[in-house]
Amino acid sequence: MAVVEIKIALSELDLSILFDPTRKGKSGQDVIKRKAKELLAVAERVVRPVLLYEICTPYFKEGALTLSVDDRTIAFRRHDGLSDFATASEVFVGLVTLGRAIEEEIQRYNSMNEVLASYILSEISVAMMGQVIKKIKNIILSVARQRYFGLSSVHIPGSTPGLPLSVQPLILELLGGENHGVDANERHMLKPFYSVTFMVGMGPNYANDELFPKCSGCSRMDTCAWRSK
């Protein structure tokens, strides 16, 4: 299994959501800027983004998918969201996390009723995850291009239509998520919160040479890191 530490460039983080351009001259914006600068230093200190991934051999039959790598195998029951993998030669299975420390910091500010700090640190975490995903896209593209393979859409449990969150424990099992501090709760949501699992099919039968998510959309569609080039 590959374990990749992802470096974040603070100067490249998109934090525009924190600042209202119509209120630039007002003191509230100055307070937010000062607090954001302070909390960026906190985030830089505690966040250690990690990508875990395996490139698996797929076996697809009657809507069910089995993935194998070395001596490990996981089997997904039939889900509509797995149909894109029917023509895959390989499947890139990944898990990315910012780690538990940033979530603990957010909870600490919440416990002290420092709502603004908690909100800003949450948005910094989202921006960091966005930058990390952009870097991961480049890793996946590099792997596929070395093989002269095309790519399926990015399949994200709980976001891709027909691919439920219930598949996440299998992905965690395959990638040893618990060994890196990531597990799932009884509703199959990942802990820590700033973590994502995903799968991408690769092979000569795919025409795409870029990566896009298959999810139908969300409130962050315009700024989605998976959608950006």
**Per-residue pLDDT tens over the stretch 3-39:** 999 999 988 898 888 876 665 556 678 888 899 999 9
Tell whether domain 49-223 is in CATH 3.40.109.40: yes
Cβ contacts of 112 within 8 Å, gap of 6 or more: none
**Per-residue pLDDT tens over the stretch 200-214:** 999 999 988 888 765
What is the pLDDT, as a whole number, of residue 52?
A: 98
CB atoms within 10 A of CB 1: 14
Averaged pLDDT of the chain: 89
Q: How would DSSP label each residue in 141-204?
A: HHHHHHTT-EEEEEE-TTTSTT--GGGHHHHHHHHTGGGGT-EE-TT--EESSSEEEEEEEEET
**Per-residue pLDDT tens over the stretch 193-203:** 999 999 999 99
Task: Give residue 205's Cα distance to chain centre.
Answer: 25
The helix or strand, by DSSP H or E, that contains position 57, with its residue range, turns out to be: strand 50-61
Q: Please check whether residue 228 is in contact with residue 134, taking contact to mean a CB–CB distance below 8 angstroms.
A: yes
Question: What is the rounded average pLDDT of the residues 58-87?
Answer: 91
| Pairwise CA distance, residues 104 & 53, whole Å | 25
**Per-residue pLDDT tens over the stretch 115-160:** 999 999 999 999 999 999 999 999 999 999 999 999 999 999 998 8
The helix or strand, by DSSP H or E, that contains position 29, with its residue range, turns out to be: helix 27-46
What is the pLDDT, as a whole number, of residue 131?
A: 93
Question: Per the confidence metrics, is the pTM higher than 0.85?
Answer: yes
Question: What is the rounded average pLDDT of the residues 94-99?
Answer: 97
| Pairwise CA distance, residues 138 & 131, whole Å | 11
Which regions of 77-149 does DSSP assign to beta strands (E)? 90-97
What is the pLDDT, as a whole number, of residue 81?
A: 86
Per-residue pLDDT band at 226 (split at 50, 70, 90): low
What is the pLDDT, as a whole number, of residue 25?
A: 56
Per-residue pLDDT band at 80 (split at 50, 70, 90): confident
* Listed residue (46, 38, 52) closest to 99, CA to CA: 46
| Pairwise CA distance, residues 196 & 45, whole Å | 21
What is the pLDDT, as a whole number, of residue 28?
A: 76
Question: What is the rounded average pLDDT of the residues 45-60?
Answer: 96
pLDDT of 222 over the 80 cut = no
What is the pLDDT, as a whole number, of residue 211?
A: 80
Q: What share of the chain in percent tops pLDDT 90?
A: 71
**DSSP 8-state symbol, 32:** H
What is the pLDDT, as a whole number, of residue 135?
A: 94
